[in-house]
């Protein structure tokens, strides 16, 4: 997925002209609450409608990470592109209860959003708090195996929303560090090998630490 996002950043950044441009890279700890999963297998007895328990396993390869490019039009208002490699695995209880071999999005839910940000420079102790949010799409690697055929491929599965709030600290004129909460919501409808669809609306919550480079 990084090979798809990097060209977008290379196109996006030069368009900012003389504005302040910030490139950020982050990682952290991510989890996801339970969500409903609906599987429709026409003409078979493999339809399912159940609640999945998800595990984030943030540090298992590939780890949870993200990158973003932000164009600060002035001191407090910015716009940007954000790619978030977040992921979920169905827990062992879910797999056992449903008789599934695999249910996961572990090469990422891969949330890509266009965001708007508001920051509050030098609010206190050299910190710059910020909030942001955006709309985009989910492009997960869908991995599902119920014995009717194994699905293991990237798909564009639906719309996504991202929200974040945090604070940054300037280390030098061109480098800063930051910590934030980031949440995502994605509506996913995936096509399954062997026919049918899998649907689930997934929420993720993450605490991130990162570094930004300003130009």
pLDDT digits (tens, 9 = 90+) for 95-133: 999 999 999 999 999 999 999 999 999 788 899 999 999
- Whether 3 shows a pLDDT value over 60: the answer reads no
| Residue 6 banded pLDDT, cuts 50, 70, 90 | low
What's the pLDDT at 41?
93
Tens digit of each residue's pLDDT (9 = 90 or more) over 181-196: 999 999 999 999 999 9
pTM for the full predicted model: 0.88
Task: List Cα–Cα distances, 51 to 112, 183, 185, in angstroms.
Answer: 26, 20, 17
Tell me the average pLDDT across 5-16: 50
% of the chain at pLDDT higher than 90: 80
Please report the pLDDT score of residue 125 as a whole number: 87
Could you give the C-alpha distances from 180 to 31, 115, 116, 126, 166, in angstroms and in order?
Answer: 15, 15, 15, 16, 4
Question: In the chain, count of helices (H) and strands (E)?
Answer: 2, 15
Contact 103/85 with Cβ under 8 angstroms?
no
């Amino acid at each position: 997925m990084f090979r798809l996002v990097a060209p977008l950043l290379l196109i996006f950044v030069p368009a900012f002209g003389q504005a302040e441009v910030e490139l950020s890279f982050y990682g952290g700890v991510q989890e996801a609450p339970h969500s409903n999963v609906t599987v429709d297998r026409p003409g078979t007895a493999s339809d399912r409608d159940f609640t999945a328990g998800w595990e984030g396993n943030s540090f298992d390869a590939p780890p949870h990470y993200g990158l973003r490019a932000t164009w600060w039009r002035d001191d407090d208002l910015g716009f940007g592109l954000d790619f978030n490699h977040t992921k979920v695995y169905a827990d062992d209880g879910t797999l056992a209860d449903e008789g599934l071999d695999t249910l996961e999005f572990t090469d990422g839910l891969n949330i890509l959003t266009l965001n708007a940000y508001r920051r509050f420079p030098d609010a206190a102790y050299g910190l710059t708090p910020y909030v942001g949010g955006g709309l985009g799409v989910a492009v997960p690697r869908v991995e599902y195996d119920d014995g009717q055929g194994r699905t293991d491929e990237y798909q564009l599965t639906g719309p996504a929303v991202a929200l974040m709030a945090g604070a940054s600290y300037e280390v030098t004129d061109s480098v800063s560090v930051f910590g934030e909460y980031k949440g995502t919501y994605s509506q996913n409808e995936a096509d399954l090998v062997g026919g049918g669809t899998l649907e689930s609306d997934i929420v993720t919550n993450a605490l991130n630490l990162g570094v930004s480079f300003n130009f």
